[in-house]
Amino acid sequence: MTVASPAAVPALDYVFHPRSIAIAGISSKENRRGGSFASALQDIGFRGPIFLVHPTATAIRGLKCYPSLLDVPDDVDYVISSVPARAVPGLLEDCIKKNVKVLHMYTAGFTETGDAARAKMEQTIVARAREAGIRLIGPNCMGLYVPSSRLAMMGDQLPEPGPVAMISQSGVNAGEFVRNALPRGIRCSKVISFGNGSDLKAADFFDYAADDSETEVICSYLEGIQEGPRLAQAIRKAAAVKPVAILKAGRTEAGSRAANSHTASLAGSLAIFDGLCKQAGALRVESMDELVDMAVTFRFVTRLAGPNIVVVGGGGGASVLAADDLAAAGLKLPPLLPETQEALARVTHEAGTSVRNPIDTTSLWQEGGFESTLTPCATATNVDAVLYHTSFGGNWPGSNDMHARMINETNILKRLRDETGKPIVVAIRQAMNASGLAQSQEFIDLCSKNEIATYPTIARAGRALARLLAWQRMHD
């Protein structure tokens, strides 16, 4: 019997797996300083002890308080600092005495203020922590969301893990990524908000994510380029083994100024960062929406053989705009082959747009019409992918049993995807009313469970597929 050799554990892995946490600087008032971390950790069900440090309170949120970190009777792996900036050096000394491994500094008010004395204080803290072997996350950040460790940085974060990592300089943007990606079937391995990145930097996290066995796709929001050559090397290492998509702020002069105010970041030239990404094989995206779309695309589409898309759905005007949007993104809508048109003509009693690409047909809603319309599209030899678009809340024939229809549609889409090996993606257009909104989410959930990519508009679906092709070209 052979024993499988265990996967190598990345050096920084302990940072993401604390056994106990202390929160310093918590307020006894609801959700003020540090309180939201305590409730986020309670909500997600952190498995180890959570110790609170408060000068006078005996308990907050049912958690016992200690006057100082040194009074905590057990080992503490991970400390969240919510104390004012001037109190951090003292807290760090306590961490050293207490043999703490990681200090997450939610505390802000350092280099990003533009004040030289405060920048100096940040440097002194980093030097002292390094000397003592403590790793710092931040300052000026939300820290970690790690579902498998039941670590959360905000309320309402799911304990269910998944394969997407998010390395973010901004906590708000990290939270927005998670919230927007979640309803589209994306679950996360490690989400990191690292703020000023005074000790642990983007390079460290890319390096870690490249090695992390729980991570298959890496997304990132960066404001600055710290230690350029090391960052370039880490992105190159990650992008060689996993898809990497990066939203880089500071694209404009105004954005660079804002990045500097926010996380003391030097944004650097966008052209240089673009070159870095191209060399590394990482995809640079332009917006948070696109970052989420690429997480969905890398996760569920994975590969596209070429640019030829057939678009199927109901709605003439939507189809016309779809053709424009896809063509503008660089995709092609090939004319349907005679045999495809003949197969479609057997399904529909309509002519014209029902047998041309984009296919606009009401036959989709007839008994058996969905399967007999989608099948010739997916199996056509001149088609690389199918884009099905739909919307909910209209008062169509058969809309009474929408649930059964959705299950039937996802089963057919999944089967065709598996049989043909071609991506089949779904754009779920704006719902027509409140019940349509709920049905939209139900259909997105069904698709996501079957690993079918969904997008909120046809244009975004087209752009994501085009970006996937561009990413593939970098790696071919």
With contact defined as beta carbons under 8 Å apart, do 452 and 424 qualify? yes
Phi, psi angles (nearest 5°) of residue 282? -100, 150
* Residue (233 or 399) nearer to a copy of itself, CB: 399
CA angle 452, 429, 444 (to 5 degrees): 30
For residue 314, the minimal CB distance to a copy of itself (Å) is: 8
* Residue (74 or 160) nearer to a copy of itself, CB: 160
* Residue (111 or 372) nearer to a copy of itself, CB: 111
* Residue (262 or 422) nearer to a copy of itself, CB: 262
For residue 311, the minimal CB distance to a copy of itself (Å) is: 9
For residue 341, the minimal CB distance to a copy of itself (Å) is: 12
Which tokens hold the place of 446?
């069904």
For residue 99, the minimal CB distance to a copy of itself (Å) is: 32
From CA 265, how far away is CA 261, in angstroms rounded?
Answer: 8
For residue 433, the minimal CB distance to a copy of itself (Å) is: 5
Q: What b-and-e string marks burial along 382-409, b requiring 16 or more CB atoms within 10 Å of the CB?
A: ebbbbbbbbbbbeeeeeeeebeebbeeb
286: number of Cβ within 10 Å: 12
From CA 367, how far away is CA 285, in angstroms rounded?
Answer: 42
* Residue (227 or 350) nearer to a copy of itself, CB: 350
Q: Which amino acid is at 301?
A: V
Phi, psi angles (nearest 5°) of residue 336? -70, 145
From CA 290, how far away is CA 459, in angstroms rounded?
Answer: 11
What DSSP letter does each residue of 378-392 carry, written as one string? HH-TT-SEEEEEE--
For residue 474, the minimal CB distance to a copy of itself (Å) is: 24
Q: What is the DSSP letter of 475?
A: H
For residue 203, the minimal CB distance to a copy of itself (Å) is: 19
* Residue (109 or 369) nearer to a copy of itself, CB: 109
Residues 6+ positions from 32 with CB-CB distance below 8 Å = none
From CA 157, how far away is CA 20, in angstroms rounded?
Answer: 19
Residue 157: left if φ>0, alpha if ψ -120 to 50, beta else—which one?
beta
With contact defined as beta carbons under 8 Å apart, do 111 and 118 qualify? yes
Helix (H, G, I), strand (E, B) or coil at 191: strand
Residues 6+ positions from 73 with CB-CB distance below 8 Å = none
For residue 414, the minimal CB distance to a copy of itself (Å) is: 27
Pairing of strands 21-24, 50-53: parallel
* Closest listed residue to residue 413, CA positions, set 387, 437, 441: 387
* Residue (288 or 474) nearer to a copy of itself, CB: 288
* Residue (37 or 66) nearer to a copy of itself, CB: 37
Helix (H, G, I), strand (E, B) or coil at 64: strand
For residue 315, the minimal CB distance to a copy of itself (Å) is: 4
Helices (H) and strands (E) counted in the chain, each on its own, are 15, 18
From CA 354, how far away is CA 352, in angstroms rounded?
Answer: 5
162: number of Cβ within 10 Å: 21
For residue 167, the minimal CB distance to a copy of itself (Å) is: 13
* Residue (1 or 434) nearer to a copy of itself, CB: 434
* Residue (162 or 314) nearer to a copy of itself, CB: 314
For residue 4, the minimal CB distance to a copy of itself (Å) is: 41
* Residue (114 or 133) nearer to a copy of itself, CB: 114
* Residue (180 or 215) nearer to a copy of itself, CB: 180
For residue 21, the minimal CB distance to a copy of itself (Å) is: 19
Residue 393: left if φ>0, alpha if ψ -120 to 50, beta else—which one?
left
